[in-house]
A and B are shown apart, each in its own frame.
Chain A
Amino acid sequence: KAGVTQTPRYLIKTRGQQVTLSCSPISGHRSVSWYQQTPGQGLQFLFEYFSETQRNKGNFPGRFSGRQFSNSRSEMNVSTLELGDSALYLCASSMGDRGHEQYFGPGTRLTVT
């Protein structure tokens, strides 16, 4: 079974631009979560989608948004990029039940200059 895939793997943007990251979950998984990982802040939760509905949301500004499609694929968008948005963005999928483990993709490394 194919793992979680994320595209693109690397991205360089300038301040003020916007970016869209994509995540394809493991086949059959209905839940997709997004995390931001930085050396200083560690792993911070962005949002979780389950069957196209946002189930949980982290404490990030409204510039960060996401959605999930009917095939469970998910996208996250960051508008008006800031230097502090430079990070590794990780997507994880699971079956969706509370006891189910999440499987992570390799991440998208975003650099904002």
Chain B
Amino acid sequence: AQSVAQPEDQVNVAEGNPLTVKCTYSVSGNPYLFWYVQYPNRGLQFLLKYITGDNLVKGSYGFEAEFNKSQTSFHLKKPSALVSDSALYFCAVREGYSTLTFGKGTMLLVSP
């Protein structure tokens, strides 16, 4: 069975500093990996995905993620955090046409 782990409930970072939100996954085959962001009282917004090809994926709002097959990780990164990046971030994995499985979410708090 597929699964996703986001080991940190919360990540705190100062504005202007780089940020990383961690995600590890478990699938038996090739994964399709996604990052979403949720702002208060809103639905989820798609940020980026990894399907195949380059391990470094660039997405919306300056975010990027690195796929690491040996470590089964797909960490979300941004070189310089903004206060407006403060939100709940979800990593998700899908194998084939199975369901999209989400992690528990990581709250990102960017301080001014």
Residue positions of A touching B, CB distance < 8 A: 4, 33, 35, 42-43, 45, 48, 55-56, 58, 90, 92, 98-99, 101-107
Contact of B43 among A42, A55, A106 (CB under 8 A): A106
| Chain B positions within 8 Å of A48 at CB level | 99
| Top 9 A-B pairs, shortest CB-CB distance | A104-B43, A43-B102, A104-B44, A99-B51, A101-B46, A56-B99, A42-B104, A106-B43, A45-B99
Taking the closest CB of chain B, its distance from the CB of A42, in whole angstroms, is: 5
In the complex, chain B residues whose CB is within 8 Å of the CB of A4: 43
How distant is A90 from chain B, measured CB to nearest CB, in Å? 6
A43: which B residues are within 8 A, CB to CB? 90, 102, 105
Q: Are A101 and B43 in contact (CB under 8 A)?
A: no
With A4-B43, A42-B104, A104-B43 as known contacts, state yes or no: A99 contacts B97, CB within 8 Å.
no
- CB neighbours (8 Å) of A33 from chain B are 99-100
Q: Are A90 and B44 in contact (CB under 8 A)?
A: yes
Please, how many angstroms separate the alpha-carbon atoms of A45 and B45 in the complex?
17
Nearest CB of chain B from residue A85's CB, rounded to whole Å: 19
Cβ-neighbour of A103 out of B46, B90, B96, B100 (below 8 A): B46
Pairwise interchain contact A98-B97, C-beta atoms closer than 8 A: yes
Nearest opposing residue in chain B for A104, CB measure: B43
B43 & A90 in contact (Cβ 8 Å cutoff):
yes
Chain A residues with Cβ below 8 Å from B99 are 33, 45, 48, 56, 58
User: Given the complex, which residues of A lie within 8 Å of B105, measured CB to CB?
Assistant: 42-43
The CA of A45 and the CA of B98, in the complex, are separated in Å by 11
